[in-house]
Amino acid sequence: MKLYKVYTSIFEFVAGDGEGKQQGAAKLSIEYEKRDPSVPPPTKYMNIVVLFVKEVDASLAKAG
């Protein structure tokens, strides 16, 4: 958090219809505010969050 004033990951998971007509979905939003304009976007952190969502997806697919 030395580079960003705010860094918030927001996860929304929507279940499917249970009949196979509509699959579930995951929506990911990342809000951040740089401490200084020269600070790069938090790409490294975004990649970690994307990997997390993919792991959750794989786990849910196995369970279903």
Whole-prediction pTM value? 0.59
Q: Which two tokens stand for residue 54?
A: 């993919």
Domain ranges of the chain: 4-63
CA angle 42, 46, 50 (to 5 degrees): 175
Q: Report pLDDT digits (tens) over 6-60.
A: 989 888 888 877 777 777 777 888 899 999 999 999 888 778 878 888 898 788 7
